[in-house]
Structure 1
Amino acid sequence: MIALPLPAARRSGSRPAATRFAVIWGAAAFALLAAPAWADSVTPRGEPTIPGTITAGDRSELTIKPATDPAETVPAAEIAEVSWDGEPATMGAARGREGRGDLVGALEVYREAAPKMASIGPLAKADGQFLVARVLGKLALNDPARRAEAVASLQQFVKDYPDHFRTDPALRMLVDVQTAAGELDAAAATLEQLKQSPSEEFQTAAAVAEGQLALKRNEADAALSAFDSVLQNAEGRAAAEAKIGRAAALTRLNRHDEALTVLEGVLDETDASDAELRAAAHVGRGESLQATGETKPAILEYLKVDVLYSGASAAHAESLYHLSRLWATVGLPERAAEAAAKLKTNYPNSDWAGKLSAG
């Protein structure tokens, strides 16, 4: 806020107070309009957006200088989103589309914006390339036909920008896509790159991913051991991911009460805005509840994903698959048909749609 001086006592020959106030206000407004635009911004996860000018960035962090405050460094692992001075006006809407799960629409805008992002500077150019690769990765989790393209895009990004604040998120996404594709040896090799991160949080993410690989190999005991090891020191998001993985391992071992308790804790501790984690926790609870014959509570868990977290596309597709089967078992075949139709419309090439079609 601009503090305006109070009018001085009226003197002989001076301007009327109202006139002098208008002059002062006009000068202040002109100064405000003439001030340089600080149009970059960084949004740390779970924190307010920081406006300013981005001055530096590497694999560890991003530095932004607010207009009047000292420069701030945001660790790469804590960056939720970045916007750039001079980026196309459509970028904000594209990020919104991505968050809501409209990945195809977001991808189109990101690709159209790439030349403009490149003109802003090296950091912005790389960020634009990352956004394309990230959306391709998300699409690939539900669409086998997209996986080769996503892997190539993510690998190219890491090759081109080995010291960017998006390098480790790209590696983490690459592991997920390779795992979804069943390329477990390739995923393990990518994990070795992620382990070299300067960020402890991404090092922990690599350890979590190792547990997830063990689950993919149906090695539940090994997975449980891996997640327990992570949880000895992990905090924040990495700890939540490890707990979700631990619950999945417990479910495979038929320790359903333990799994449900772990996932309830994740939901209690996780911010309401973190759709990916919350959706994964609800899916995990649905799996355990199904296994113990609690069909209606399981439906409720999957329904929460459909209603509240449809932007978490991988969990959403899985939830729709289960709803398409479970609604019929409680005498609501029309609801089952609605879920099946939504799955085939929104995720027509997904593994879950294929599983539904296969019966």
Structure 2
Amino acid sequence: MKHITPVIRSLNAPRFTWAFSLIVLSCLNVSAQDRITRSGGDKPILGKIKEMTNEVITIETKRDGVVKVTPNQIEEIKWDDEPARFSAGRSLEEKGYFPRAFEAYEEALADLDAGLPMIKTDIEYHLLHLKANMAMSGATLPNNQTSDQLITEFKTFLDQHKNSYVYYPGLMILGKLAHQQGKPEALDYFVELQKTPWNDYQILGFTAQGHQQLAAGEIDTALATFEKALAIPSVGKADELARAEAILGKAATLVAQNKTVEALPMIEQLIENSPDSAPGTQARIYLTQGKLFQQLGRNEEAVVSLLHVDILYPQSAPEHAEALYHLTKLWAALGQPDRAATTIGQLNNDYPDSRWTAELNKN
């Protein structure tokens, strides 16, 4: 507005000035909208978010009227009234800069205007989501918080926001964190996800349960659980992406049964069918393929698969860090010490707090 004010002041007619000001403000407000981005590459929905429950987000748009979006479809929400540091935090978290992302989220909460409860809930959820990712990657949590304390904090937050859009996505993250920390209550979270009205969350709930059983050495039971996940119908992009995660779980079970060769065709089919608009899933697929090749001693093919993660999907920080770890081993095995040293440096520089960095430096 500072560039427009001199123009308004230069006009002599008060009525014209007032009318002109209204027109300018109206034009500025057109671009001031909430933005919902759905998974699968659809165009963002622009409008004003009116209501959020654990099953639907209602946004009023100028073009399509009232649009309802379910939480399982959400890739990102960008609020018109959000603090600038909230957007910065999301970007930093996506790139794996966890401590800087934490600072940005904290600053966003401090900068948030009063009277915006939905945005406050969203920022608080992102803070917990970030800390869960930090804990699962082996990074030190802010303020010396323990993983047990984080699980309690996350559970309390979700109990207080059971009718918010963050509830079921948060339950997914909490379940994964609890599972990694060896907490039996993780199963309760996964079972609750299996009861949601969305096929993709049902698939992911069974898939998470299957991984828990596999980690406990219950291989046959895990395989049956992954088959349950794959038996759920897939009717959209989100379902197909969830199904890909179930197939990755089944492949891991076959590896545990010493059937690595049988798992490879499943991964190759995933590579052919998974959309480019799902970089996280693609990264996990190529990472899995690389590890399968590595187990079979097909080191050159393993390098090619893992380089896909390094070059094409570096924004998928957990998968990228693990791919770099395995590449350091493979380059050394292939007689490429210079490349191994370069990859070691990249892992240390880009992911100093990753458990894969700690694992590498332990040896």
Alignment correspondent of 1:177: 177
- The alignment status of 1:266 with 2:270, answered yes or no, reads yes
How big is the shift at 1:85? 1.9
Seen in structure 2, the aligned counterparts of structure 1 residues 202 and 89 have a Cα distance that, compared at 3 Å, is: same
| 1:303 aligns with one of 301, 307, 321 | 307
Q: Is the 8 A contact 2:56 2:165 kept in 1?
A: yes
- Matched with 1:71 is 66
Shift of 1:357: 2.9
Q: Evaluate the alpha carbon distance shift between residue 232 and residue 27 of structure 1 in structure 2; reply closer, same or farther with a 3 A threshold.
A: same
- Per the normalisation by structure 2, the TM-score is 0.84
Any idea what the Cα deviations from partners look like across 1:147-168, whole Å, max 9, x if unmatched? 3454244223212211111111
Q: Measure, in 2, the Cα distance between the counterparts of 1:106 and 1:130.
A: 13
Please say which structure displays the higher CA radius of gyration: 1
In the alignment, residue 105 of structure 2 is paired with which amino acid?
Y
Q: SS at the partner of 1:182? A: coil
- 1:18 aligned residue: none
Q: Is the CA contact (8 Å cut-off) linking 1:62 and 1:74 kept in structure 2?
A: yes
The 8 Å contact of residues 305 and 315 in structure 1, kept in 2 or not, is answered as yes
Residue 39 (structure 1) aligned with residue 33 (structure 2): yes
Query: What is the percentage of aligned positions where both structures have the same residue?
Result: 28
Deviation (angstroms), 1:43 = 0.7
**SS of structure 2 residue aligned to 1:231:** helix
Contact 1:204 1:234 in 2 (8 A): no
Kept in 1, the 8 Å contact 2:86–2:123? The answer is no
Deviation for aligned residue 1:349? 4.0
Residues 335/278 of structure 1: CA separation in 2 closer, same or farther (3 Å cut):
same
Secondary structure of the residue aligned to 2:65 is coil
Kept in 2, the 8 Å contact 1:175–1:190? The answer is: yes
> Which residue identity does 2:127 align to in structure 1?
V
What do residues 56-95 of structure 1 show as CA deviations (whole Å, max 9, x unaligned)? 1111111111124211011110100001121112333332
In structure 2, the residue matched to 1:243 is 247
Distance 2:70 2:124 in 1: 20
Q: Show CA shifts across 1:295-350 (max 9, x none).
A: 01101212221222222222122212111111011111121122223333333343
Query: What is the alpha-carbon distance in structure 2 between the residues aligned to residue 195 and residue 61 of structure 1?
Result: 18
Report if aligned partners of 2:203, 2:246 keep a CA contact under 8 Å in 1. Answer: no
TM-score (norm: length of structure 1)? 0.85
Q: Distance in 2 between matches of 1:37 and 1:344?
A: 42
- How far does residue 40 in structure 1 lie from its aligned partner after superposition? 0.8
Question: Which residues of structure 2 form unaligned runs of 5+?
Answer: 1-19, 142-146, 235-239
SS of corresponding position for 1:56: strand
Counterparts of 1:92-111 in structure 2, within 5 Å, are 92-111=87-106
Cα displacement string for residues 108-151 of structure 1 (whole angstroms, at most 9, x for unaligned residues): 21111114446352221111111111111222221164334542
Given that residues 38 and 67 in structure 1 are in contact (C-alpha distance below 8 angstroms), is that contact kept between their aligned partners in structure 2? no
How far did residue 240 of structure 1 move?
Answer: 1.2
The amino acid across from 2:200 in the alignment is E
Judged with a 3 Å threshold, the aligned counterparts in structure 2 of structure 1 residues 105 and 272 are, in CA distance, closer, same or farther, namely farther
Select 2:336's aligned residue among 329, 332, 357.
332
Aligned residue number for residue 80 of structure 1: 75
Determine helix, strand or coil for the equivalent of 1:119. Answer: coil
* Pair 1:226 & 2:225 matched: yes
The letter of the residue matching 2:167 is: T
For the pair 1:317 / 2:321, whether they are aligned, the reply is yes
Secondary structure of residue in 1 paired with 2:164: coil
How far is 1:36 from its partner?
5.4
Deviates more, 1:168-177 or 1:107-116: 107-116
Read off the aligned partner of 2:100 and give its amino acid letter. Answer: G
Q: Deviations over 1:241-262 (max 9, x none)?
A: 1011111112222222332221
Cα distance per residue 1:162-218 (max 9 Å; x no partner)? 1111111111111111222233x1312322443443434323221111111112113
Q: Are 1:97 and 1:103, in contact at CA under 8 Å, matched by a contact in 2?
A: yes
8 A contact 1:286–1:298 mirrored in 2:
yes
- Pick the aligned partner of 2:84 from 79, 85, 89: 89
How many residue pairs match? The answer is: 333
